[in-house]
Amino acid sequence: MSDQPKSPKDARRLERVKQGSRAARDVGQASPAARGRPAGSFGQMAKSAPRRPPPVLGSIGESTGASGEPTVVVSRRAVERLDLGHVWIYRSDIAAPAGLEGGEVVRLADERGWFVGKAFYGAQSQIAVRLLTREDETVDDAFFARRLAQAKSLRDAVSPDPERRRAGRLVHGEADLLPGLIVDRYADYLSIQTLTEATDARRDLFADLLQDLLQPRAIVERNDVRVRAHEGLPQRKGVLRGEAPGPVEFLEGEVRLVADLLEGQKTGAFLDQAENRVEAGRYARGRALDCFTYGGAFALQLARHAETVTAVDISEQAAAQGRAAAARNGKTNLEFKVANAFDLLSDEAEKGERYDTIVLDPPAFAKSKASLDAALRGYKEINLRAFLMLSRGGVLITCSCSFHIDDQQFESMVLAAATDAKRNVQVIERRGAGRDHPTLLGVPETRYLKCLILRVL
Ligand code: SAH
């Protein structure tokens, strides 16, 4: 038992130790530089290791392992990807037993049969495997209960909310090592999404475990999202536990917001921006403008410190929601306009309008790599107009939630806009999604939101 390898890397090391090979001595003395080399170097080491029959820890077509899970064999490229910290493996990099059903927990083995990890298997999506653990541990109800408790402990540590009056993300899918599961909390209510075959098949289990862990008044599912189509899953929304909640009031900082858990966008609100909104409020002053305001969540934070706030959205429904939110918070220094933000920014910049605080929080312009250039032009245009209108010392809070645009591209675009506007710009804060939306090192897909807080000199 004691010399059972814990990981593929460990397995290769043990194998070399047994062989007494030169490679084993090299591994034992690996310098920091060698450890820091990309995973390709593991491939080279494996190549130079003496040949012998692979250990039979699993092979295609068999159920193996103490827990009896089917084994999926993953390519060397996939092992390298996992070694780089990723948790997804594409269908082209696996060999699965015939008839393996989507939604099962599987053992992963490398091409030589060594244990690599345990994962959710999907039969439909191009992402065939989503890693659950790199350890050879039992994946049962207790395992998922532990993962949920671990997710909760992060939120308890970073934003304790004993009165349960706030909203936040409790489970952020892959980033909480619960791939395909999203759980948002709004005061006493939970809204969940089961986005993959495996999490969807365990919807009742997760609802039970969440009920035990958090005792919410109700749990709703918002499984009416397009990504489920990749998994062959139907669109669905409704109440899983408790009674239909109706609109739920919660606090964001000192601002009172309302989410309609069954009818609102996403799972009710854009929670990833919650901390950025509260932070934006700290910088607000004078005349403020919030573009792409939706229900006015940024605008309401600005209105606490600014003299006047203009909030703009193209949707009449969003503006109506924003006006109701302003009334609920007793704010009278806030005006909602229904307009195309591109037109409004360009008209006002032309007229020489001035603002002291501007927020730009547009929807994702780059939905795919193909639309990248057009998206960057769109972002640059709105940022340029904002820079033209900001007073000296004025603050711009500028965001992008396009995954296809990374931090560097975003900053280059902002710099180009500032240069065109002939403004010098200080970076006050580089922010991302809130702490309840953690990211995984090695999984860039978990990091998509960029938020810069800038000051114009
Ligand atoms: N800032 C909001 C979230 C914005 S979501 C918050 O923190 O809650 C993006 C919003 O942009 C949506 O409400 C959408 O209706 C609006 N929108 C999309 N295109 C627009 C355009 N061209 N002009 C103005 N608003 C637009």
pLDDT by residue (tens digit) across 348-391?
A: 999 999 999 999 999 999 888 889 999 999 999 999 999 999 99
Q: Which helix (H) or strand (E) holds 342?
A: helix 341-351
Strands 287-291 and 355-360, how do they pair?
A: parallel
Q: How confident is the model at residue 311 (pLDDT cuts 50, 70, 90)?
A: very high
* Euclidean distance between CA atoms 393 and 398, whole angstroms: 16
Q: How confident is the model at residue 193 (pLDDT cuts 50, 70, 90)?
A: very high
Pocket of ligand 1 (CB under 6 A): 270, 273, 277, 292-295, 297-298, 312-315, 318, 340-342, 361-363
Average pLDDT of 173-179? 97
Confidence check: pLDDT of 47 > 60: no
Confidence check: pLDDT of 13 > 90: no
What pLDDT, on a 0 to 100 scale, did the predictor assign at position 11?
59
Gap from CA of 291 to ligand 1 centroid (Å): 7
Average pLDDT of 103-128? 98
Query: Can you read off the two tokens belonging to residue 423?
Result: 């403004």
Average pLDDT of 35-41? 32
341 Cα nearest atom in ligand 1: 23
pTM above 0.75? Answer: yes
Question: What is the residue type of 9?
Answer: K
**In this structure, which long-range contacts are made by residues 386-389, counting pairs with CB atoms below 8 Å and at least 24 apart in sequence?**
386/289, 386/291, 386/345, 386/355, 386/358, 386/360, 386/417, 387/417, 387/418, 387/420, 387/421, 387/423, 387/425, 387/456, 388/349, 388/421, 389/289, 389/345, 389/348, 389/349, 389/353, 389/354, 389/355, 389/358
Which residue's CA is minimally distant from atom 3 of ligand 1? 294
* Euclidean distance between CA atoms 16 and 25, whole angstroms: 9
What pLDDT, on a 0 to 100 scale, did the predictor assign at position 38?
33
Answer whether 79's CB lies under 8 Å from 8's CB: yes
Query: Can you read off the two tokens belonging to residue 407?
Result: 């931090």
What pLDDT, on a 0 to 100 scale, did the predictor assign at position 49?
41
Answer whether 252's CB lies under 8 Å from 427's CB: no
Query: Can you read off the two tokens belonging to residue 101?
Result: 């059903």
Strands 71-74 and 105-109, how do they pair?
A: parallel
Strand partners, 338: 313
Answer whether 210's CB lies under 8 Å from 182's CB: no
Answer whether 118's CB lies under 8 Å from 106's CB: yes
Gap from CA of 38 to ligand 1 centroid (Å): 41
Q: How confident is the model at residue 19 (pLDDT cuts 50, 70, 90)?
A: very low
Strands 308-313 and 334-338, how do they pair?
A: parallel
* Euclidean distance between CA atoms 245 and 377, whole angstroms: 42
Q: How confident is the model at residue 266 (pLDDT cuts 50, 70, 90)?
A: low
* Best residue among 272, 301, 314 to mutate for probing ligand 1, ranked by most atoms within 8 Å of CB: 314
Nearest to 384 by CA among 410, 344, 349: 349
Q: How confident is the model at residue 7 (pLDDT cuts 50, 70, 90)?
A: low
What pLDDT, on a 0 to 100 scale, did the predictor assign at position 445?
87
Average pLDDT, the chain: 88
Which class is domain 141-249? alpha beta
Gap from CA of 401 to ligand 1 centroid (Å): 12
**C-alpha 421 chain-centroid distance:** 33
Average pLDDT of 442-454? 94
Provide the phi-psi class of 422: left if phi over 0, else alpha when psi is between -120 and 50, else beta: left
Answer whether 375's CB lies under 8 Å from 366's CB: yes
Gap from CA of 292 to ligand 1 centroid (Å): 3
Strands 218-223 and 189-194, how do they pair?
A: parallel
Average pLDDT of 138-151? 98
Question: What is the residue type of 350?
Answer: E
Q: Which alpha helices (H) appear in 399-448, and where do they start and end?
A: 407-420
CATH number of 270-456: 3.40.50.150
What pLDDT, on a 0 to 100 scale, did the predictor assign at position 23?
33
Q: How confident is the model at residue 68 (pLDDT cuts 50, 70, 90)?
A: confident
Residues with a catalytic annotation lie at: 401
**C-alpha 104 chain-centroid distance:** 24
What pLDDT, on a 0 to 100 scale, did the predictor assign at position 113?
97
Gap from CA of 8 to ligand 1 centroid (Å): 46
Q: To which residue do tokens 């994946």 refer?
A: 139
Average pLDDT of 172-176? 97
What pLDDT, on a 0 to 100 scale, did the predictor assign at position 9?
65
What pLDDT, on a 0 to 100 scale, did the predictor assign at position 225?
93
* Best residue among 292, 344, 361, 379 to mutate for probing ligand 1, ranked by most atoms within 8 Å of CB: 292
CATH 2.30.130.10 domain extents, the chain: 8-133
Domain 8-133 CATH (choose: 1.10.287.610, 3.40.640.10, 3.90.1580.10, 2.30.130.10) = 2.30.130.10
What pLDDT, on a 0 to 100 scale, did the predictor assign at position 188?
96
CATH 3.40.50.150 domain extents, the chain: 270-456
Query: Can you read off the two tokens belonging to residue 329?
Result: 């918070």
Calculate the dihedral angle through the C-alpha atoms of 151, 6, 447, 420, rounding to the nearest 10 degrees: 150
Average pLDDT of 230-257? 95
CATH 3.30.750.80 domain extents, the chain: 141-249
How large is the C-alpha radius of gyration of the chain? 25
Average pLDDT of 140-153? 98
- Residue % of the chain over a pLDDT of 90: 80
